[in-house]
Amino acid sequence: MRTVEPIPDISIVLPVYNEAGSLPGLVAELTEVLTQLGRRYEIIAVDDGSTDDGVAVLRRLQEQEPHLRIVQFRRNFGQTAAFAAGFDYAQGDVIVTLDADGQNDPADIPRLIEMLEDGDYDLVNGWRQNRKEPLLTRKLPSMVANWLIANTSDVHLHDRGCSLKAMRRDLVKQIHLYGELHRFIPEVASLIGVRIAEVPVNDRPRRIGQSKYGALSRTPRVILDLLTVSFLLSFSGRPMRLFGGAGMVSSGLGIGVLAYLAGAKIFNGLRYGEEGFRAFRIGTNPWTMLAILLTVLGVQFLMMGLLGELLTRTYHEAQNKPIYFVRRVWGPPQPSPQEET
């Protein structure tokens, strides 16, 4: 009969992808901060199919840090899947997420937990101060994205790109992540109703390696994900308001254009006779036809994309389909996600 470790109070979720160089220092910092808190804790490192020796490094660190658990993926499934796996395996009442590159400062964790508990919040998001990143490729796109998301989703935060967050266990167990929705955890959480706060946190320069998950090239994906989240927030329960509204606008414009063309034909025919009637050919203009074709195709593609997002949501949530597959788990014996009720 196996001995089950006491349930921790705090769970640290750490997605890892080719960060072998930064792991020893980060785990040491986490251990020091969490030990000073005087509460039971666990560190869940989710290896997202790393190609370096990250798993071997974590195994060595596990010898000095018995609270470290390692969840190893069979391949690279992405940061969203890594967060989802960490949430599934987390046992603590408070769940804290941060990046494995060392840019998030573990010393800020106690302040996030204090705000979460004393302020009776469900989620506390880190707000990076004096960011150590290039202006044009990281800061400026982040500012634009934060402004767009805040005005689209009505969830007003200054820094959605900060992975340092503290959440209550009951919230984490009720949200479902798939695709690349890890960037929109506050927005996804707002679907079930939450109280969200921000805490200024320290932003440190990356000392080892380079960014694996984020770059300027992710901007188109973020915009598409933003459309998905906006749709889920506004129309997931009443899609007819979106599709019906778009259909009414499209039909109204089509009928209006047809009425104009018919009136112009009749007016010119009465005024100029048969020759003028034949000469008025706006409806057969190739540029007009191309514009109509492109508009119709664009609307169709957007509708199909939104319907696809609804089907994806049903696929993952209604059928409980996994978005990751675990190769192995190392750590003290604890109930697996499948053993929980």
pLDDT at 282: 59
CA-angle at 51, arms to 45 and 57, nearest 5°: 45
Task: Flag whether 173 is in a domain.
Answer: yes
Domain co-membership, 160 together with 283: no
Domain co-membership, 256 together with 203: no
Task: Flag whether 94 is in a domain.
Answer: yes
pLDDT at 137: 61
Overall domain count for the chain: 2
The CA–CA distances, whole Å, from 104 to 82, 148, 156, 161, 172 equal: 17, 24, 21, 11, 20
For the sheet containing 123-129, what is the strand order? 196-202, 123-129, 165-168, 94-97, 10-16, 41-47, 68-73, 326-330
User: Residue 327 is inside which H or E element, if any?
Assistant: strand 326-330
C-alpha 72/C-alpha 148 separation (Å) is 35
C-alpha 110/C-alpha 26 separation (Å) is 16
Domain co-membership, 196 together with 243: no
C-alpha 115/C-alpha 284 separation (Å) is 65
- The CATH number of the domain holding residue 173 is 3.90.550.10
Distance of CA 218 to the CA centre of its chain: 12
Domain co-membership, 16 together with 82: yes
The CA–CA distances, whole Å, from 80 to 16, 85, 137, 144 equal: 12, 9, 22, 22
Task: Flag whether 226 is in a domain.
Answer: no
- Block mean pLDDT (10 aa), the chain, length 341: 72 94 94 94 95 93 93 92 93 94 93 90 90 66 71 76 91 82 83 87 78 55 71 64 66 67 63 50 57 71 71 65 74 60 44
Buried b / exposed e along 179-211 (16+ C-beta atoms within 10 A): bbbbbbbbbbbbeeebebbbbebbbeeeeeeee
Domain co-membership, 206 together with 310: no
Domain co-membership, 300 together with 329: no
Task: Flag whether 43 is in a domain.
Answer: yes
Domain co-membership, 210 together with 255: no
Task: Flag whether 232 is in a domain.
Answer: no
pLDDT at 277: 46
Domain co-membership, 115 together with 23: yes
Task: Check residue 22 and report its DSSP letter.
Answer: T
Host domain of residue 297 = 239-317
Domain co-membership, 151 together with 247: no
Task: Flag whether 121 is in a domain.
Answer: yes
pLDDT at 272: 46
CB atoms within 10 A of CB 287: 7
Task: Flag whether 172 is in a domain.
Answer: yes
Domain co-membership, 36 together with 169: yes
- With beta carbons less than 8 A apart as the criterion, state whether 165 and 123 touch: yes
Task: Flag whether 300 is in a domain.
Answer: yes
pLDDT at 1: 45
Domain co-membership, 41 together with 175: yes
C-alpha 293/C-alpha 261 separation (Å) is 17
Q: What are phi and psi of 306, to 5 degrees?
A: -70, -40
Q: Residue 9, SS3?
A: coil
The token duo for 311 is 């089907």
C-alpha 266/C-alpha 283 separation (Å) is 13
Domain co-membership, 246 together with 299: yes
